[in-house]
Amino acid sequence: MWRRAAVAAGRGLPGMAGRRWRSGAGSPERAAAERAPRIYTRTGDSGFSSTFTGERRPKGDRIFEALGATDELSSAIGLAGEFSSEKGHTFVDQLHKVQCMLQDVGSNIATPLSSAREAHRKRTSFSEKPILELEQWIDSYSEQLPPLRAFILPSGGRSSAALHLSRAVCRRAERCVVPLVQAGEADPNVAKYLNRLSDYLFVLARYAAMKEGKEEKIYIKPEP
How much is the average pLDDT of 32-36? Answer: 64
Between 124 and 1, whose confidence is greater?
124
d(CA 123, CA 103): 13
pLDDT digits (tens, 9 = 90+) for 119-144: 888 888 899 999 999 999 999 999 99
pLDDT of residue 24: 44
d(CA 145, CA 139): 10
* Least confident interval from 20-29, 33-42, 66-75, 83-92: 20-29
pLDDT of residue 11: 43
Mean pLDDT across the chain:
85
How much is the average pLDDT of 178-189? Answer: 95
pLDDT over threshold 70, residue 194: yes
* Least confident interval from 11-25, 107-121, 131-145, 172-186: 11-25
- HSE (CB half, 13 Å, CA atoms) of 22? 3
pLDDT band at 12 (very low <50, low <70, confident <90, very high): very low
pLDDT over threshold 60, residue 32: no
Distance of CA 48 to CAs 1, 51, 54, 55, 135, Å?
A: 14, 10, 12, 10, 38
d(CA 173, CA 160): 20
pLDDT over threshold 80, residue 73: yes
